[in-house]
Structure formats: C-alpha cells, structure tokens
C-alpha cells in the first residue's frame, strides 16, 4: 500500500507539473534566478579568494644576511622560521643565485654590467624570502628575527637587515582591508540567499494558493494529508531539479566565458602578472563541480519541496 501510494503521489505530481504548464514555468524561472544568485555568490567568492590569495602571495619580507654569513647559519635560521606556525613558506636564495638573477635581469645594460665588473666581488647578500600565512603576521615574524638574530664567530650579527619596515605600510593596509572585504562579501551573500529563499517561497505559495479549492475537495472526499500534499511536494522537487540543471549550465557557460572576458579586458600581460586570477572560474568550476552540484541541486530541491510543504499546510486544515 505504501508503494502504491508512493507511485500514485509521484505520478500525480508529474501530471500536475505538465498540466499546470504556465505555473510550472513561472516557478522554474523564479527558482532559477534565485539559484543563479547563489551561483553568483559562489563564483564571486571564488574569484575574490583567488584575488586575495594572489595579493597575499605578492606580499613578503626579505631577510638579508651579512656577506660573510656561513650558509649553515642561514639554513639554521630558515629551519627555525619554517617551524613557526605563522610562516607559510621560505625560500633561500644564495649569494650566487642573487648575482645570477641580477645579471640576467640587466644583461642588456652595459653600464650596470660594467659597474658590476668593477666591484669584482659579489656585492649581493644571501636572501631568505619569507611568506606569512596572513599579512598581519609579518610584524611578529620580523620581531622574532630581530630577537633571535644569532651572532657569528666574530660577534657581528648574521642577519643584516629585514625589509619589514619598508613593506609595513602596505602590509598593514592589506591586513585591514582583506578581512573587511571578506566580511562584506559574507554579509552580501547572506542577504542575497535570504532574498532568494523568500522570493521562491512566495512564488510557490501563490502556486499552491491557486489549488486551495482542490485541496479542500480532496480532503472532503476523504484523502489523507500526505495524499493531498505529496503531489505538491513532487512538483516542488521537479521545479528544483529543472531549475538547478538550468543554473548549472548557465554557471558553466559563465565560468568559461568569463576567462576570455578577463583576458580581453585585462590584457594578456596584466593577466599573466596576476597568474592566479587567470582561468580562475573555469578551474574552480571544474575542480569543485561535485560541491557546486550538491549546493545548487540541494538548494533547489529543498527550497522547492519545503516551500510546497509549508504552503500546503494552511489549506489542509479542512
């Protein structure tokens, strides 16, 4: 009997979906727009995070060592830094590599190359490039280094300079702006999701309202609540599934189309400077497709079904 009821409820839901063609169409349009709003939130979140990660990645501090600092001391400092929870990564660049990089950069400039030759020796200090997990943590890393600074055998400090002070202004600003941007994004997302839910609920409530007389007739003929409500919920689920599929197709199109647009507006050169931002949406969509599918489909189905369920409640009191 349970199976028979399930079969009848599902069939009635499908039939009603087709027969109420225009209402179904209206529900799908509204639900699709709402799901697209959620999709836009997902995408702008991904884009924003990529942009912020890119900017964060561009912020770093360099630790310059004394010219005569032995390599094992430098590596010891690097190992110490790597152990700090605040540090995301460290890159050691030896004096020879700094020189090689410098030569490579200025190889076409005869004057500079000549000057370098006149110095004779390698004038560049070994460098340790430090990236923090969060821009706000550079202060404490710099502090740690100035406290720690081990002395060499002749008593002079190993670390000659940390360029934190020069970068302090931009680092401080970024560490204030980024959380503010993240908070604003989150509040906008919450508001948009709420608006989407309310609009969808009201639309489906109006659709259920149009069949309130039918609901009361069904009840008066002796149908149980689940028998009256079931087909409405099935229709609601169908609105959700179809809207979610449309939304996912549009999102895929936007993801791949946006890459081309960003490239065109930003120009290939700038885009390659912000390498993390290039192809961010298509890559994000492809990598997180499972998660996006669950969010969009889940929201659509739950919103459709739950709205129908709640909307029918009031008319079942016959």
Partner 1 sequence: MIYYDKVSKVYPDKSVALDGVSFGVEPKEFVTIVGHSGAGKTTLMKMLIAEDWPTEGAVFFESSNIHKLNKRAMSRLRRRIGTVFQDYRLLQNKTVYENIAFAMEAAGRTDSEISADVPHVLELVDLGHKIWNFPKELSGGERQRVAIARAIVTQPDIIIADEPTGNLDPTNTYEIIRILQKINELGTTVLLTTHNKGVVDTIGGRVITMEKGKVVRDDKGGKYIL
Q: Which residues bind partner 1 (CB under 8 A)?
A: 1, 4, 8, 16, 19-20, 211, 213-214, 216-225, 227, 318
CA distances from 5 to 14, 156, 218, 223 (A): 14, 87, 15, 11
Give the residue with the Cβ less far from partner 1, 62 or 216: 216
Give the residue with the Cβ less far from partner 1, 34 or 211: 211
Minimum CB distance to partner 1, residue 217 (Å): 5
Beta-strand relationship, 127-132 and 87-93 = antiparallel
User: Which residue do the tokens 């560049």 mark?
Assistant: 124
What is d(CA 184, CA 1) in angstroms, rounded to the nearest whole number? Answer: 53
Q: Nearest Cα to 235, choosing from 4, 35, 33, 19?
A: 19
CB within 8 Å of 157: residues ≥ 6 apart: 66, 149, 150, 151
Minimum CB distance to partner 1, residue 300 (Å): 24
First to last CA, the chain: 25
Give the residue with the Cβ less far from partner 1, 16 or 158: 16
Give the residue with the Cβ less far from partner 1, 26 or 223: 223
Minimum CB distance to partner 1, residue 240 (Å): 21
Q: Nearest Cα to 72, choosing from 150, 2, 17, 141?
A: 150
Give the residue with the Cβ less far from partner 1, 225 or 282: 225
Give the residue with the Cβ less far from partner 1, 62 or 225: 225
Minimum CB distance to partner 1, residue 214 (Å): 5
Burial (CB < 10 A; 0-12, 13-18, 19+), residue 157, is middle
Minimum CB distance to partner 1, residue 4 (Å): 7
Give the residue with the Cβ less far from partner 1, 106 or 227: 227
Minimum CB distance to partner 1, residue 239 (Å): 16
CB of 271 closer than 8 Å to CB of 277: yes
Minimum CB distance to partner 1, residue 20 (Å): 7
Minimum CB distance to partner 1, residue 197 (Å): 28
What is d(CA 192, CA 198) in angstroms, rounded to the nearest whole number? Answer: 10
Give the residue with the Cβ less far from partner 1, 163 or 216: 216
Minimum CB distance to partner 1, residue 5 (Å): 8
Give the residue with the Cβ less far from partner 1, 119 or 220: 220
What is d(CA 292, CA 277) in angstroms, rounded to the nearest whole number? Answer: 19
Tokens at residue 222, please? Answer: 């002796």
CB of 245 closer than 8 Å to CB of 292: no
| SS3 per-residue string spanning 297-308 | HHHHHHHHHHHH
CB of 79 closer than 8 Å to CB of 73: no
């Amino acid at each position: 009997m349970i199976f028979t009821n399930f079969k009848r409820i599902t069939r009635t839901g499908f039939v009603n979906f087709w027969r109420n063609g225009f209402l179904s169409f209206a529900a799908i349009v509204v639900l699709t727009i709402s799901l697209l709003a959620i999709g836009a939130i997902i995408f702008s979140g991904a884009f924003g995070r990529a942009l912020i990660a890119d900017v964060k990645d561009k912020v770093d501090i360099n630790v310059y060592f004394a010219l005569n600092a032995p390599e094992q001391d430098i590596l010891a400092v690097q190992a110490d830094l790597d152990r700090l929870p605040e540090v995301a990564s460290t890159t050691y660049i030896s004096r020879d590599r700094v020189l090689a990089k410098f030569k490579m950069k200025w190889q076409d400039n005869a004057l500079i190359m000549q000057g370098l030759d006149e110095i004779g020796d390698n004038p560049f200090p070994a460098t340790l490039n430090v990236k923090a997990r969060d821009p706000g943590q550079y202060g404490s890393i710099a502090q740690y280094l100035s406290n720690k600074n081990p002395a060499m055998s002749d008593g002079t400090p190993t670390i000659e300079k940390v360029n934190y002070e020069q970068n302090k202004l931009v680092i401080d600003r970024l560490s204030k702006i980024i959380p503010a941007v993240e908070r604003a994004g989150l509040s906008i997302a919450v508001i948009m999701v709420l608006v989407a839910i309310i609009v969808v609920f009201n639309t489906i409530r109006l659709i259920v309202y149009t069949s309130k007389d039918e609901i009361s007739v069904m009840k008066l003929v002796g149908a149980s609540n689940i028998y009256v409500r079931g087909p409405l919920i099935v229709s609601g689920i169908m609105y959700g599934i179809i809207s979610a599929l449309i939304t996912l197709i549009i999102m895929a199109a936007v993801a791949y189309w946006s890459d081309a647009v960003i490239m065109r507006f930003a120009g290939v050169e700038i885009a390659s400077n912000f390498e993390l931002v290039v192809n961010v949406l298509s890559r994000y969509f492809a990598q997180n497709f499972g998660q996006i599918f669950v969010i969009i489909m889940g929201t659509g189905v739950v919103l459709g079904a739950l709205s129908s369920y709640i909307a029918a409640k009031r008319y079942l009191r016959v």
